[in-house]
């Protein structure tokens, strides 16, 4: 399927072929996977032209053109197209690290970006304007329906001066509208009952409003999260309001139990550092005798780690830092996990309960960091989306916080923290750790989670760090601990494609 170069407003899209994209049957909507990943800056026109104006996705009749109603609304309410971001001095220009023949890679990158937009952007991102001095009453926010389930539209009414006749219309694109058919003798006319455009005429304003109170909306497609725009008209007055079509999701709850052992699991990753790992375990048991500990181990010659409440997972050798993190976190069954490095030391200041207390009091938080050896390392991330061709700009600002966490003056809201943090298990599992990043990786997890993970750091909980041991100077350990420059180059190439960046700067 080819993309159009323009769709009314001149939004440019790269030409590519994209099979298997989700679509809606009546109106060109960008599909949405989850609200937590939805962005407000929806380049909706490009996605619509991409999915619907050229070609057949899923069969020759699966892709009808957008309705005139849809085209009119989108052309009028579209968001401005994104402009290129400017890389600050010292930023790594990621194109410089691409292989010489990268034309096909650039095409695949453009294709993946369009599919990402199809999953994360929606008609619900369309900019809407409230009309001034309008006689129309309608829901401006919060009207949510289950897919293919009739739902009354709340608050529909007309407040107009006396006339001999009143005519209103309501039009949607992804569903049908129904209302009560008036009894014979009532001076009211209904046109389009059970269709996408409903018109009501009456000489009685009271009778018209009674009928509007019975108008229901039913989506005609099944989708777990998408939307529709309803247009409400009376004479020269027109209003548009959003309808969220969402499949209700059952909650996934964790039983916190009665003590820290049923609330938190300690997780770590080890590689060729058994002396340090054993010291860590010993200090953990001084303060938390029965807490569960999960160890992901990709050492070349694994050793046994004895002891109760320890899950030791042996991986293939040298799989890497993030692969081990993924394995460890995937086995957590408690609401929270505490991440620690294998060469940390627990002290009397390592009070996991204090971190849990903050997380429970502020349920919006996903990750809460502490101090390591007295150092409260944290950072913020500045991301500019940029345009569709070149990509965005990413900057990491060390020691930069946004503000104090309300109610906790020793804690601050940030975007990333040190390798000592308490995290909400389900939230981190959704983001995951990219196993392509084997050794040069930490900030990258928080980059992938930017916009979906709420992160903070606290200064009143800390862990200590072990002194460097001689065995860390062996040739074998150094070969993995200090990777070649090619690893850094590969990471920049990954950012270019996966995060659609044109430049990145660590500060």
Neighbours of 445 (CB within 10 A): 21
3-class state of residue 329 by DSSP: helix
Pairing of strands 166-171, 197-202: antiparallel
Neighbours of 8 (CB within 10 A): 15
pLDDT exceeds 80 at position 38: no
pLDDT given for residue 132 in this prediction: 77
Considering only CA atoms, which of 21, 24, 18 is closest in space to residue 226? 24
Phi first, then psi: what are they for 189, rounded to 5°?
-125, 130
Give 147's strand partners.
Answer: none
pLDDT bucket at 224, cuts 50 / 70 / 90: very high
| pLDDT top residue among 338 and 187 | 338
Mean pLDDT along residues 58-70: 44
pLDDT given for residue 87 in this prediction: 93
Considering only CA atoms, which of 335, 313, 331 is closest in space to residue 264? 335
- State what percent of residues in the chain have pLDDT above 90: 71
pTM attached to this predicted model: 0.79
pLDDT given for residue 501 in this prediction: 96
| pLDDT top residue among 199 and 131 | 199
Considering only CA atoms, which of 415, 419, 507, 421 is closest in space to residue 458? 421
Give 422's strand partners.
Answer: 338, 368
Pairing of strands 421-424, 336-339: antiparallel
| Cα dihedral 44/49/52/56 (nearest 10) | -130
3-class state of residue 209 by DSSP: helix
**Tokens of residue 473, six digits:** 């100077």
| Spatial distance between the Cα atoms of 146 and 507, rounded to a whole number of angstroms | 46
User: What is the average pLDDT value for the chain, to the nearest integer?
Assistant: 84
| Spatial distance between the Cα atoms of 304 and 294, rounded to a whole number of angstroms | 13
Give 136's strand partners.
Answer: 158
Residues 445, 322 contacting (CB under 8 angstroms): yes
Q: Which residues contact 6 (CB under 8 A, 6 or more apart)?
A: 12, 49
Give 244's strand partners.
Answer: 144, 227
Residues 430, 366 contacting (CB under 8 angstroms): no
Mean pLDDT along residues 20-46: 33
Whole-angstrom CA distances from 445 to 328, 402, 448 are 15, 19, 5
Return the minimum-mean-pLDDT range out of 54-68, 309-323, 438-452.
54-68
Q: What's the angle, vertex CA 461, arms to CA 459 and CA 463, rounded to 5?
A: 115
Considering only CA atoms, which of 444, 471, 435 is closest in space to residue 321? 435
Considering only CA atoms, which of 417, 329, 442 is closest in space to residue 367? 417
pLDDT exceeds 50 at position 52: no
pLDDT tens profile 250-289: 998 999 999 999 999 999 999 999 999 999 999 999 999 9
pLDDT tens profile 459-506: 999 999 999 876 666 777 777 777 778 888 999 999 999 999 999 999
Mean pLDDT along residues 345-361: 97
Residues 378, 370 contacting (CB under 8 angstroms): no
Give 464's strand partners.
Answer: 345
| pLDDT top residue among 76 and 427 | 427
pLDDT given for residue 182 in this prediction: 80
pLDDT tens profile 354-405: 999 999 999 999 999 999 999 999 999 999 999 999 999 999 999 999 999 9
pLDDT given for residue 483 in this prediction: 74
pLDDT given for residue 470 in this prediction: 67
| pLDDT top residue among 43 and 355 | 355
Cα atoms in the Cβ-side hemisphere of radius 13 Å centred on 23: 26
pLDDT given for residue 469 in this prediction: 74
Angle of the 103-120 helix axis to the 485-498 helix axis, nearest 10: 50
Residues 92, 503 contacting (CB under 8 angstroms): yes
Q: Which residues of 43-56 are buried (b: 16+ CB within 10 A; e: fewer)?
A: bbbbbbbbbbbeee
| Spatial distance between the Cα atoms of 346 and 380, rounded to a whole number of angstroms | 27
Q: What's the angle, vertex CA 303, arms to CA 323 and CA 373, rounded to 5?
A: 65
């Amino acid at each position: 399927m080819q993309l159009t170069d323009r769709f009314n407003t001149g939004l440019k899209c790269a030409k590519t072929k994209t099979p298997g994209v989700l679509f809606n049957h009546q109106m060109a909507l960008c599909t949405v996977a989850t609200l937590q990943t939805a962005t407000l800056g929806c380049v909706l026109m490009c996605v619509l032209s991409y999915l619907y104006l050229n070609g057949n996705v899923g069969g020759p009749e699966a892709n009808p053109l957008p309705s005139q109603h849809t085209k009119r609304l989108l052309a009028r309410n579209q968001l401005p197209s994104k402009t290129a971001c400017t890389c600050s001095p010292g930023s790594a220009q990621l194109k410089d690290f691409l292989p010489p023949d990268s034309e096909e890679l650039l095409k695949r990158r453009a294709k993946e970006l369009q599919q990402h937009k199809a999953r994360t952007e929606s008609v619900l991102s369309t900019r809407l304007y409230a009309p001034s001095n309008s006689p129309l009453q309608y829901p401006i926010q919060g009207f949510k329906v289950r897919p293919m389930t009739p739902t009354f539209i709340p608050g529909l009414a007309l407040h107009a001066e006396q006339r001999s006749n009143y005519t209103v219309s309501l039009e949607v694109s992804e569903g049908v509208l129904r209302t009560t058919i008036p009894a014979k003798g009532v001076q009211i006319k209904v046109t389009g009952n059970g269709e996408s455009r409903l018109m009501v005429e009456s000489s009685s304003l009271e009778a018209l409003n009674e009928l509007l109170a019975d108008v229901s909306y039913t989506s005609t497609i099944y989708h777990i999260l998408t939307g529709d725009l309803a247009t409400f008209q009376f004479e020269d007055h027109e209003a548009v309001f959003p309808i969220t079509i969402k499949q209700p999701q059952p909650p996934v709850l964790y039983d916190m139990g009665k003590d820290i052992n049923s609330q938190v699991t300690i997780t770590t990753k080890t590689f060729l550092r058994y002396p340090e790992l054993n010291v860590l375990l010993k200090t953990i048991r001084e303060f938390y005798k029965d807490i569960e500990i999960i160890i992901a181990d990709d050492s070349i010659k694994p050793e046994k780690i004895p002891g109760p409440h320890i899950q030791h997972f042996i991986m293939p050798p040298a799989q890497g830092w993030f692969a081990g993190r993924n394995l460890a976190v995937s086995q957590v069954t408690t609401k929270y996990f505490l991440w620690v490095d294998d060469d940390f030391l627990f002290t009397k200041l390592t009070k996991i309960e204090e971190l849990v207390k903050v997380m429970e009091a502020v349920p919006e938080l996903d990750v809460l960091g502490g101090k390591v050896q007295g150092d409260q390392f944290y950072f913020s991330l500045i991301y500019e989306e940029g345009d569709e061709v070149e990509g965005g700009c990413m900057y990491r600002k060390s020691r930069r916080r946004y503000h104090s966490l309300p109610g906790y003056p020793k804690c601050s809201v940030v975007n990333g923290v040190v390798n000592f943090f308490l995290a909400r298990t389900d939230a981190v599992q959704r983001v995951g750790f990219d196993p392509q990043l084997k050794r040069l990786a930490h900030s990258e997890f928080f980059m992938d989670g930017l916009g979906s993970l709420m992160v903070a750091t606290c200064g009143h909980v800390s862990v200590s760090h072990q002194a460097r041991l001689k065995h860390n100077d062996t040739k074998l350990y150094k070969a993995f601990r200090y990777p070649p420059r090619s690893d850094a180059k590969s990471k920049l190439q990954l950012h270019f494609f996966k995060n659609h960046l044109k430049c990145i700067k660590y500060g």
